[in-house]
Amino acid sequence: MNQFSTSITYDETTKLVMMTLRGKISAQDVISVYKIANEYAKSHDCTKVLIDVIELEHQFAAIDIVNIMPSVAHYLNGLVVARVVGFKGFMHDLFLQKAKRFDVVAENFDCFKQAKQWLGSISSPTLAN
């Protein structure tokens, strides 16, 4: 059984949704998490999301990213996503590669500060309905 925790908040001063994931996550859980991020961002009329996955362990094969990306990309449409991954691993790189293939504006970062600075430098897109 996959067990993970999600913490999500909105920072009014930076107009930024911040989400932290910890634990073990399945491919289906990944889709659910990005759906939650999308809904939360929409509820705050926000287009920038910072997701910390440093303490997250993927409980699925790399090939599953190919299968889940159409759904994930749907939820990331109109958002700018900075992912704090802590290190450059093939799963993180593959996720980013597939996200960009679906025209998702996303980047991976080693630390929270870099991710937040990058998001601050990006113009906000129009949030899709």
Task: List alpha helices for the chain, DSSP H.
Answer: 27-43, 63-76, 90-101, 112-121
Predicted local confidence at residue 129, as pLDDT:
44
Does residue 80 fall inside a structural domain? Answer: yes
Q: Tabulate helix, strand, coil % of the chain (nearest 5).
A: 40, 30, 30
The closest alpha carbon to 20, from 67, 99, 86, 104, belongs to 86
In this structure, the strands spanning 4-11 and 16-25 are antiparallel
Does residue 22 fall inside a structural domain? Answer: yes
pTM: 0.88
Does residue 99 fall inside a structural domain? Answer: yes
With a cut of 70, list the residues of the chain below it in pLDDT: 1-2, 88-89, 124-129
- Number of structural domains (the chain) is 1
Predicted local confidence at residue 90, as pLDDT:
74
Does residue 126 fall inside a structural domain? Answer: no
Predicted local confidence at residue 86, as pLDDT:
77
Does residue 27 fall inside a structural domain? Answer: yes
Does residue 127 fall inside a structural domain? Answer: no
Predicted local confidence at residue 123, as pLDDT:
77
- Tell me the residue range of the domain where 17 lies: 4-121
Report the distance separating Cα 19 and Cα 56, nearest Å: 12
The amino acid occupying position 32 is: S
What does the block give as tokens for 74?
Answer: 């749907």
Does residue 77 fall inside a structural domain? Answer: yes
Q: What is the CATH number of the domain that holds 88?
A: 3.30.750.24
Predicted local confidence at residue 92, as pLDDT:
85
